[in-house]
Structure 1
Amino acid sequence: MLTYYILLPFIYMISLLPFPLFYGLCDVMFVLLYYVIGYRKKVVLQNLQNAFPEKSAKEIEKIRRRFYRYFCDLLLETFKTLTISRAAAIRRCKLTPEAQELFDRYAAENRSIMIVMGHYGNWEWAGNTFSLQGKHHLYVVYHPLSNKYFNGLMYRMRTRFGTGLIAMKDTFRDMVAHKSELDATAFIADQTPAPTSAYWTDFLNQDTPVFQGTEKIARKMNYPVVYVHVQRVKRGYYEISARTLFDQPSATKDGEITTAHTQALEQDICAHPEYWLWSHRRWKHKRPVPAQEPAVAEPAI
C-alpha cells in the first residue's frame, strides 16, 4: 500500500507531461533499464535466439535494443491513458478504414464478435480506441493483479472510455450473461497456460502451449473470430487493422482456430519483432510426456 501511494503522484505527473517531454523521459528510462539495470536482458536474448536461429548475433542484438526502446515507450504510454483526452486518444491510435468497415458491418448485422490479438504494439491504447470508435461494447479478458491497489489503477485506466473488464476465470459465464448485448470480447491469446491443459503447437520455432479457452468459447458462442493487429506507424502513433479468421467458428475442427490466430501473430512478429513482448517468459513450460500404458501380462497357458 505504501509503495502505491508513493508512486501514484509520479505516475500522474508522467501522464500529464506534454508529449515531447514525455518521450524524452522514455529515452532516459531506456538508458536506465537497458544499460544500468539490465532488466531481463538474458530472458529477452534467449527468447530472440530461440525464435530466430537463422539471425546473427549482431542482428539479434539490434532487435533486442530496439525492443527495449519500444518497451520503455509502451510502459509510459500505458500511464498516459490516465489523463489523455478522447481526441488525442483517437488521433494517436486509429482504426484503419477497412477495420472500421469490418466492425461496422458486424454491428449492422447485430452480431457480437470475439477479438483475438497478442502482446504486440500498444494493446492498451487499442482498447481505448475501439471503445471510442466502435459500435460494439468492448470487454477485455484480463488477469487481475495480485496487488489490489495497482489492480485498481489498471482498472481505472482500462475502463476510462467505457471498456469493460472480465476476469479470465469468469469469461464464459460473463459472455453468456452479456449475450443480449452487442459486444466484442477481446482475448490476449499469447499468454502462458498450464502445460497439461494447453494446445501445443509450433510458434516462433519453439514448442509452445496456447490457451484453448479462446477457441472453445468461440465454438460454443459461434461469434465471428476477428484477428486484430496494432501497428506502430511512428513514435506515439498506431494503426489498428483487423480481419476475420472465422465467420462461423462452430463449423471448425479442433485446433483450427488456435492454429490460425497463433500463425497470424507469428507473421506480425516476424515482420517487426521489436514490437512484441520479448521480456515475457513465454516458454517456461515443456510439453508433458504422455503417461505410458502399463504392459498387460500374457495369460498363462
Structure 2
Amino acid sequence: MARRKTRSTLAIDWLSDRAIRAAIGLMRILPFDMRRELAAFLMTRIVSPLGGFRRRIRENLALVRPDLSPADIRRLERAVPRSIGRTLAELYSGPDFVARVAREPLQGAGVAALEEAHRTNRPVLLVTGHIGNYDAIRGGLIARGYRVGGLYRPMDNTFFNAHYVAAISRIGTPLFPRGRKGLTDMVRFLRGGGMVGVVLDQSMGDGALLSFFGQPALTSLSPAQMALRYDALIVPTYGIRRPDGGFDMVIEAPIPHTTAEEMTQALNDSLEAQVRAHMDQWLWTHRRWKMGNRT
C-alpha cells in the first residue's frame, strides 16, 4: 500500500509541478526542434545539477563501465541529461512527434514478423528500454494504423502524473497504468490481437535477478510470461535518436519462446547491446542495479 503523503510533501509536489508546467508552456511556444533543444539546455544546466544527475551517472558507470576514461564520463554527464530533455519535449509534443516518427521507415530483422502479426491479429509485446525515445515505436506504429497500447508506471507526483498521462495520450491510446485494473484491461486488449509497448529496464521488487551489463538487476518476467500464456510475439524495439533529429525505428527479431527467464535475459542482452552502441541515449540516472553496491 502506498504511504500517504504529508502536507509538506504534497506542497513540494504541487510547486514542482507548477514549475514543470511553466517550463513546458514556454517550450510549446517554440517550433518542435527548438523546443527539444531548449529542453535539452534546461535539463543539462538547471535540472541535472539540482537533481544530482551527474553523481548518479558517475555511480552507475563506475559499477558497470569502469573502463571508461574521465573524458568519456564527463561527456556522458552532459550528454545524458540532454537526451532526457529532448525526450521530455518530444513526449509533450504529441502531434509534432508523431509526424516525425511516422515518416521514418521501420528497420531490422523483425519487421516482416511484426507486419505479419498485424495482418493476422496476433498479440505482440513490444519491449523497449529508456533509450532514445521509448515512445517512438508506439507513436510510429499507431500512425501506420497498428493497434498499439502502452503500459506505464504512474508518477509519484500525482499533480505531474495527470498532465503527463494527458500528454502521452496525445501520442496514442489506449494506455494502461501498472496495477490490477490496468493489467486486466491490458490483457483483454492483448488477447484481442492488440500490441502493447512495455518498458522493461526498471528495477522491479518482484522481478528475477538477471544480468544486465554483467551485474545482477531485478527484471520483471511479466512480459515473457504473458507472451507464453497468450502466444504473443515478444519483440525488442527501439527508437534511436539520430544527429539529424530523426529516429532509427529498430524492430529486432522476435525472441523465441522458451522459458520466461531465458526470454527476459535475451531482452536484457538486446537492450545492453543498444546501450553500448548509444551510451549517451540511455537513462543512466536511474537506479537500475539496486542489488549492486548501493541501496
Fold agreement, TM-score > 0.5: yes
Distance 1:131 1:57 in 2: 42
Question: C-alpha displacement at 1:119, in angstroms?
Answer: 0.7
Distance 1:33 1:3 in 2: 14
Question: C-alpha displacement at 1:120, in angstroms?
Answer: 0.8
Q: Aligned match of 2:268 in 248, 255, 262?
A: 262
Distance 1:163 1:189, change over 3 A: same
Distance 1:104 1:225 in 2: 13
Q: Aligned match of 1:13 in 26, 30, 33?
A: 26
Instruction: Provide the residue aligned with 2:64 in structure 1.
Output: 51
Structure 2: state its 5+ residue gaps: 1-13
| Residue type of the alignment partner of 1:87 | A
| Range moving further from structure 2, 252-261 or 272-281 | 252-261
Q: Aligned match of 2:166 in 125, 142, 156?
A: 156
Question: C-alpha displacement at 1:2, in angstroms?
Answer: 6.2
| Residue type of the alignment partner of 1:279 | T
* Identity between Structure 1 and Structure 2 (%): 23
Instruction: Provide the residue aligned with 2:6 in structure 1.
Output: none
Using the size of structure 1 for normalisation, the TM-score is: 0.81
Instruction: Provide the residue aligned with 1:278 in structure 2.
Output: 284
Instruction: Provide the residue aligned with 1:145 in structure 2.
Output: 155
| Residue type of the alignment partner of 2:134 | W
Asked whether the 8 Å contact 1:245–1:261 carries over to 2, the reply is: no
Q: How does 1:229-268 map to 2 (within 5 A)?
A: 229-246=238-255, 249=257, 252-268=258-274
| Residue type of the alignment partner of 1:103 | L
Distance 1:54 1:164, change over 3 A: same
| Residue type of the alignment partner of 1:271 | A
Q: Secondary structure at the match of 2:78?
A: helix
Distance 1:15 1:124, change over 3 A: farther
Paired residues in the alignment total: 279
| Residue type of the alignment partner of 2:150 | V
Q: Aligned match of 1:109 in 103, 120, 124?
A: 120
Structure 1: state its 5+ residue gaps: 288-301
Asked whether the 8 Å contact 1:121–1:232 carries over to 2, the reply is: yes
Distance 1:3 1:178, change over 3 A: same
Distance 1:6 1:50 in 2: 33
Q: Aligned match of 2:79 in 47, 66, 71?
A: 66
Question: C-alpha displacement at 1:269, in angstroms?
Answer: 0.7
Matched, 1:165 2:178: no
Instruction: Provide the residue aligned with 1:118 in structure 2.
Output: 129
Distance 2:242 2:109 in 1: 16
Question: C-alpha displacement at 1:45, in angstroms?
Answer: 0.5
Distance 1:85 1:267 in 2: 26
CA deviation map 1:151-209 (0-9, x unaligned): 22122222224321112223542244225533101110111111xx3211221131211
Distance 2:45 2:261 in 1: 43
Matched, 1:218 2:231: no
| Range moving further from structure 2, 39-48 or 233-242 | 233-242
CA deviation map 1:47-73 (0-9, x unaligned): 012111222222222233222222222
| Range moving further from structure 2, 30-39 or 209-218 | 30-39
Distance 1:97 1:133, change over 3 A: farther
| Residue type of the alignment partner of 2:213 | L
Distance 1:207 1:9 in 2: 39
Distance 2:97 2:83 in 1: 22
Distance 2:155 2:82 in 1: 25
Asked whether the 8 Å contact 2:233–2:255 carries over to 1, the reply is: yes
Distance 2:43 2:165 in 1: 26
Q: Select the structure of larger CA radius of gyration.
A: 1
Question: C-alpha displacement at 1:123, in angstroms?
Answer: 1.2
Instruction: Provide the residue aligned with 1:87 in structure 2.
Output: 99
Distance 1:141 1:203 in 2: 22
CA deviation map 1:205-264 (0-9, x unaligned): 3121111212222211120111102211225311211123335x3xx1241111110000
Distance 1:181 1:16, change over 3 A: farther
Q: Secondary structure at the match of 1:16?
A: coil
Using the size of structure 2 for normalisation, the TM-score is: 0.83
